[in-house]
Structure 1
Amino acid sequence: MGVEVYFANGVRNIVPYYHGRAAFAKGRWFKRTLLEVLVGEFSADSRDEYLEGIKNGKYRIIREGFPLPPEEVLTSPIRNSDVVETNSHKHEPPVKQWCDEEVDIPGKKVAGIDIVYEDENMLVLDKPNGIPIHPTGQFYQNTLTEILKTRNKEARPCYRLDKVTSGLLIMGKTKAIANEIQAKIRSRDMDKIYLARVSGKFPKSECLTRGIEDHLPTPFEDKSMITTADSATYTVELKKSFPAGLSVPKTAATSFYPLRYFPNHNQTLVACKPLTGRTHQIRIHLARMGFPIVNDPFYNVENSKYPYRSEFILDVEDWENCPLTADDLRKEFELFDEECDKAREKQQSEQKSLVCEECGSIQAETPPLKELELWLHAWKYSDSSQTFTYETKPPAWVNEVCLADG
């Protein structure tokens, strides 16, 4: 699908477009009208909105290869082999603009993104921050994998990097290659080193000398400089109800090595080596140690829109083995929900929203650029035999003064 892209105020925007999805009708839908199915099984819109959607062609039934007229869709029960089609006017959120021109330079850049390595099996990129890797939530065309497809490059990410995180992204050009690389990562035969800029003077920073640049190419060589955090981590998903919304706590360990201390900012550049592969473990461990990533929008409580939930995750390392009872945890989860609702209401009241003339939906204004960047960068990946070794260039914020300061 071709989409129109434009840049403004430091973000990459996509002009709203129509997006269709089609699927064979489910057996339980047979002998029911499409309106009955939409009202009974989906709660996104009201009955009147679904009715209007059928009349204007947003929801259709394709029978024997031809769309039924809207009036027949309203009266004809769904049959076996019917195809239900939805067409929506998509408003994708913007992502951070990573370059002035999304140019392709064979072996060097694709869509303006730096290529670290490429052959017939693999594509290794230096992912910009502020862009999701693959379609999720409201994002579809404004994602890395979909942008690559417009460049005739099909590639599967071998691991996850958050939208706001930058750095090394290894992708397989086939499912088999991606699975092979993922197996290598799961076997813990892969060293991963991230860079993070944290608040405060990190442990062992006082041992750094003026020749700290010598540490940057090869951190973790001096064992006396390493600090290791070891605590269970988990996530909170408010889309799920309690207790499913609290993921199972899993053991996690991360080693840290200070690289530079910035006294003017009271911040430290730290190399991070996750010894396990848990979601957000670097961010959580740093925050629990009292050295959160400077601009972390969630685990740095000073920045968080949801400080109560953030503090709970930092204070309660393992909710399954803590003094709180099931009723206590349920009440905490309810407070997370209330906090989220209040934050959403506050954001909506502060936004200057525009109404789309095409579909009537609300278009929120562009988020601040600082919310699209995290000072966490996937820097190096290598296996034990050093036959599988990749490295990106360090981001601008490794220096004393960077563009994002202030």
Structure 2
Amino acid sequence: MSGSSAPPPQEKFEEPPPVITTPCSPWPPPYYLEDGLRKVTPYHFTYNTYCKERWRGREIFDIFASEFRDRPQEYYEKAILEGRVTLNGKPVPSTSTIVKNGDIISHTCHRHEPPTTAQSIGIVHEDDDLIVINKPAGIPVHPAGRYNFNSIIEIIRADRGYSLNPLPCNRLDRLTSGIMFIGKHRRAADEFSVQLRDRSVRKEYITRVVGEFPEGEIVCEKPILQISPKLGLNCVRANGKEARTVFKRLAYYPPQDGSKEDKVQDDENHEGMAWKKLRGYSIVRCFPLTGRTHQLRVHLQFLGHPISNDPIYANQRVFGPSLGRGRSDAEKDEDIMTRLSRMGKDEVADAVAYHDEVVDAYHKRKAEKMTGETCSVCDTPLYSDPGVHELGIYLHARRYRCEEGRWDYETDLPGWALPPPGMEGPTTSTRESDHLVVDLKKLDLECDDKLGDQQAQPAPNQVVTGIAA
């Protein structure tokens, strides 16, 4: 027919790349409790991962060698050559094979999960749609890296039955404790996740930091950049992502007579000089207005008051005696990453901002690090059990509330935030009606998308530590 046009050709359907399935998935999960730890019996497991954007065009061995640190490079090279690593379900021709967008990398291994705390997951609230939990420190939310069954999601699934698919609505770092929201079904998880992203939701964390934190509302607006995804290192950088936090001191506890806790470098000394000043510690309320990775930990380090037991940002062996205070340049990044990579291998991954030699010696004996032994099944290097001091840091998500009054959930103060024996201080959670309230409107601050590029105007008794460009 005149003027008619042929129908457009149909797009050819392309089958997705094949993947490798786990040889066997143990159920119930192979948990057992020992010495206050939740442990998992080693088992075979297959990771299937789509090519990440930063992996495109790179050699497959280079990806494994640079992105994963729990096994030596020799292991990954051997796994590729022996067919335990496949690309799109097929053996990899060589270690120099290029990975492209859309590829699926499969890696079958004998999995050794690190122990986590045996502490149970607390329930703050539960209804037909949602579980509000008090997450213990030291347990990751999702299966990732060396963790699978020892994750919040899998522990809940194992406790309540395989038919439940727990869906997290928010995330906390592995080392952080506190309030998390778990959807019981997809609709509830999606709806509540939208609520959590709303700027009317206020979040409050509690932390314990080195030294005497200043009084008043302390605002830190330094942008944060991820320096190493492999090592989980983030730092203040001018070219980082916008980040904004309000801090307010809840209590300060000076060092008690004869105490050797919280040894830190005198602010007036330069790096390399001897420890000389005891500063005690502070309990600080944290109000994050953005949600960058390690935001509270990085901002507190920049302010010179890192979280007391933070194995990264309060580690003198990594950052030197100044502990990275006021640091925003990349001059020493390579040295810092080299030192950090040794933590948990030939050195204990532990904060050393406040330990004396006796405490350090104890932690070296009872801490997670490579033992020099290998697994009889797969030759994987074996780690010792973590010590109690490695199962979490002094950072707790205490309260989430909706300003419109739809919901409000909180926990008690964790034990490490209570006053030490013989000293007075806050022992209960504080309500927004108390004298410690942080009035964001007074500070001309709001959350997330309302921040834009506006610069906050200092209010009385406020310290502005930096405005993002």
TM over 0.5: yes
Correspondence for 2:336: 336
Q: Aligned with 1:161: secondary structure?
A: coil
- 8 Å contact kept, 2:116–2:138: yes
Q: Aligned with 1:315: secondary structure?
A: coil
Q: Distance in 1 between matches of 2:221 and 2:105?
A: 50
In the TM superposition, residue 315 of structure 1 has moved relative to its aligned partner by: 3.0
- 8 Å contact kept, 2:219–2:244: yes
Match of 1:203 among 190, 193, 214: 214
Q: Aligned with 2:347: secondary structure?
A: helix
Correspondence for 1:354: 373
In the TM superposition, residue 124 of structure 1 has moved relative to its aligned partner by: 0.8
Q: Cα deviations across residues 208-249 of structure 1 (Å, max 9, x unaligned)? A: xxxxxxxxxxxxxxxxx4332222222221549xxxxx8951
Q: Distance in 2 between matches of 1:376 and 1:296?
A: 9
Q: Size of the alignment, in residue pairs?
A: 324
In the TM superposition, residue 264 of structure 1 has moved relative to its aligned partner by: 3.7
Correspondence for 2:33: 7
Q: Distance in 1 between matches of 2:62 and 2:213?
A: 55
- Alpha carbons of 1:183 and 1:40: their partners in 2 closer, same or farther (altered >3 Å)? closer
- 8 Å contact kept, 1:39–1:50: no
Which letter maps to 1:339? R
Q: Higher mean Cα deviation, 285-294 or 377-386?
A: 285-294
* RMSD over aligned Cα atoms: 3.9
- Alpha carbons of 1:193 and 1:340: their partners in 2 closer, same or farther (altered >3 Å)? closer
Correspondence for 2:139: 131
In the TM superposition, residue 196 of structure 1 has moved relative to its aligned partner by: 0.9
1:306 correspondence with 2:318: yes
Correspondence for 2:116: 95
In the TM superposition, residue 167 of structure 1 has moved relative to its aligned partner by: 0.4
Which letter maps to 2:396? H
Q: Aligned with 1:183: secondary structure?
A: helix
Correspondence for 2:393: 374
Q: Cα deviations across residues 240-278 of structure 1 (Å, max 9, x unaligned)? A: 9xxxxx895122222222222223452222211112222
Q: Cα deviations across residues 298-327 of structure 1 (Å, max 9, x unaligned)? A: 222xx3552269955x5344x5xxxxxxxx
Match of 1:117 among 105, 122, 125: 125
Which letter maps to 2:34? A
1:226 correspondence with 2:217: yes
Match of 2:383 among 364, 367, 376: 364
- 8 Å contact kept, 2:345–2:370: no
Q: Cα deviations across residues 372-396 of structure 1 (Å, max 9, x unaligned)? A: 2211110010011121211112211
- Alpha carbons of 1:382 and 1:310: their partners in 2 closer, same or farther (altered >3 Å)? farther
1:393 correspondence with 2:412: yes
Q: Distance in 1 between matches of 2:255 and 2:77?
A: 60
- Alpha carbons of 1:386 and 1:306: their partners in 2 closer, same or farther (altered >3 Å)? same
- Alpha carbons of 1:191 and 1:61: their partners in 2 closer, same or farther (altered >3 Å)? closer
Return the TM-score normalized by structure 1.
0.68
In the TM superposition, residue 87 of structure 1 has moved relative to its aligned partner by: 3.6
In the TM superposition, residue 125 of structure 1 has moved relative to its aligned partner by: 0.3
In the TM superposition, residue 169 of structure 1 has moved relative to its aligned partner by: 0.5
- 8 Å contact kept, 1:297–1:304: no
Q: Distance in 2 between matches of 1:367 and 1:295?
A: 14
5+ residue gaps, structure 2, are 1-24, 51-58, 66-72, 94-103, 232-236, 257-279, 349-363, 422-469
- 8 Å contact kept, 2:87–2:105: yes
Q: Distance in 1 between matches of 2:147 and 2:281?
A: 33
Q: Distance in 1 between matches of 2:214 and 2:62?
A: 57
In the TM superposition, residue 48 of structure 1 has moved relative to its aligned partner by: 8.6
Show the 5 A alignment for 1:309-324: 311=323, 314-317=325-328
1:272 correspondence with 2:286: yes
Q: Aligned with 1:293: secondary structure?
A: coil
Q: Aligned with 2:228: secondary structure?
A: coil
- Alpha carbons of 1:374 and 1:337: their partners in 2 closer, same or farther (altered >3 Å)? closer
Q: Aligned with 2:301: secondary structure?
A: helix
- By percentage of residues, which structure has more helix? 1
In the TM superposition, residue 123 of structure 1 has moved relative to its aligned partner by: 1.3
- Alpha carbons of 1:202 and 1:371: their partners in 2 closer, same or farther (altered >3 Å)? same
Identity of aligned residues (%): 30
Q: Aligned with 2:190: secondary structure?
A: helix
Which letter maps to 1:49? K
- Alpha carbons of 1:238 and 1:195: their partners in 2 closer, same or farther (altered >3 Å)? closer
Q: Distance in 2 between matches of 1:256 and 1:53?
A: 53
- 8 Å contact kept, 1:230–1:254: yes
Q: Distance in 2 between matches of 1:174 and 1:310?
A: 47
Q: Distance in 1 between matches of 2:408 and 2:310?
A: 28
Q: Distance in 2 between matches of 1:226 and 1:61?
A: 53
Q: Distance in 2 between matches of 1:310 and 1:179?
A: 43
Which letter maps to 1:145? I
Q: Distance in 2 between matches of 1:40 and 1:294?
A: 36
5+ residue gaps, structure 1, are 25-36, 74-82, 99-111, 205-224, 241-245, 320-328
Correspondence for 2:244: 253
Which letter maps to 1:147? I
